Amino acid sequence: MPSVLDQIIDGVRDDLSTRQQDTPLEQLQRLAEAQPAARDGEGALRAPGLSVIAEVKRSSPSKGALADIPDPAELATRYAAGGASAVSVLTEARRFGGSLADLDAVRAAIDLPVLRKDFVVTPYQVWEARAHGADIILLIVAALDDVALRELMALTRQLGMTALVEVHDEVETTRAVDLGASVIGVNNRNLKTLDVDPETFSRLAPLVPETCVRVAESGIRDHEDAAMLARAGADAVLVGEALVTGGDPSAAVDAMRSAGVAR
Ligand X SMILES: O=P(O)(O)OC[C@@H](O)[C@@H](O)c1c[nH]c2ccccc12
Catalytic residues: 55, 57, 117, 166, 187, 217-218
Residue 225 near ligand X by CB under 6 A: no
Residue 9 near ligand X by CB under 6 A: no
| Closer residue to ligand X (CB): 15 or 31 | 15
| Separation in Å, CA 248 to CA 74, 78, 200, 242 | 12, 9, 28, 10
Q: CB-hemisphere CA count at 13 Å for 199?
A: 1
| Closer residue to ligand X (CB): 131 or 238 | 238
DSSP state of 196: B
| Closer residue to ligand X (CB): 113 or 240 | 240
What is the residue type of 175? R
DSSP state of 213: E
Closest approach, Cβ 240 to ligand X, in A, equals 3
Contact 131, 35 (CB under 8 A): yes
Residue 187 near ligand X by CB under 6 A: yes
| Closer residue to ligand X (CB): 31 or 97 | 97
What is the residue type of 65? A
Stretch that binds ligand X, among 21-29, 200-208, 237-245, 251-259 (CB under 6 A): 237-245
The single residue among 42, 128, 217, 225 that binds ligand X, judged by CB under 6 A, is 217
Residue 239 near ligand X by CB under 6 A: yes
Q: Under rule CB under 6 A, which residues in 125-154 are in contact with ligand X?
A: 140
Stretch that binds ligand X, among 98-106, 150-158, 205-213, 217-225 (CB under 6 A): 217-225
Burial of 81 (0-12, 13-18, 19+ CB in 10 A): middle
Strands (E), the chain: 51-56, 59-60, 64-65, 86-90, 114-117, 136-140, 162-167, 183-187, 213-217, 236-239
| Closest to 90 in 3D by CA, of 64, 109, 118 | 118
What letters, b where the CB count within 10 A reaches 16 and e where it falls short, cover 174-189? ebbbebebbbbbbbbb
Residue 238 near ligand X by CB under 6 A: yes
Stretch that binds ligand X, among 19-27, 40-48, 100-108, 239-247 (CB under 6 A): 239-247
CA 243/CA 225 separation, integer angstroms: 13
The count of chain residues that interact with ligand X, using the rule CB under 6 A, is 15
Residue 165 near ligand X by CB under 6 A: no
Closest chain position to ligand X (CB):
240
| Closer residue to ligand X (CB): 61 or 233 | 61
The pairing of beta strand 213-217 with beta strand 183-187: parallel
Closest approach, Cβ 159 to ligand X, in A, equals 21
String marking each residue 49-78 x if it binds ligand X according to CB under 6 A: ------x-x---------------------
User: Footprint of ligand X on this chain (CB under 6 A)?
Assistant: 55, 57, 117, 140, 166, 187, 217-220, 238-242
